Structure 1
């Protein structure tokens, strides 16, 4: 029995906002409840509603920039930077810039729509 798994076919999450989400490991892709790892590309001028997730979220920026509003503070990350946002923190993710933002997101425990608690616009 192999003690590793190479993900060659990540689950592509259907979206309506132009954002690419490829879940490599997580609840849907590999039935892993403990952690999720996703490759994402947020298009220019993209944003999500505020949310208060029940999981820690780590983000590593590969290219472009991404804006975070954490509680009441605006934070902008650039390529090569990363951040950890602790669970139960109100946050909004966006890319108000003119170029796409490519990044990796890691959630622990795994991302779960039932536990992200997105606010209505």
Structure 2
């Protein structure tokens, strides 16, 4: 079995999945375009207070082929397309709770039992 070809196929599937998730957000954009309050030439989507905020932050933080961007990069990505009050604080809270990031950025190595080195009996 060719592992390289398999990895390339999976990459294509990931790209298609990401495009699909982004298309799901088009429904919000369409709703904003139909609303008279949003008829002005706004380019940023104002996200209402709901669970979709967490979904959007998680997708920006974990999504993509690279994934798990830092707090600052995640906020920059979101700030280009979305707005809601206290967005930076929400991004901070979600990135701070990310278990994958905590494990990857751990500054303390786990302590293990120290095994003494054997003392050689001959030189």
- TM bucket normalised to smaller: under 0.3
* Relative contact order higher in (CA < 8 Å, ≥ 6 apart): 1
TM-score, reference length from structure 1: 0.23
State the structure with more CA Rg: 2
User: Whose strand proportion is higher, 1 or 2?
Assistant: 1
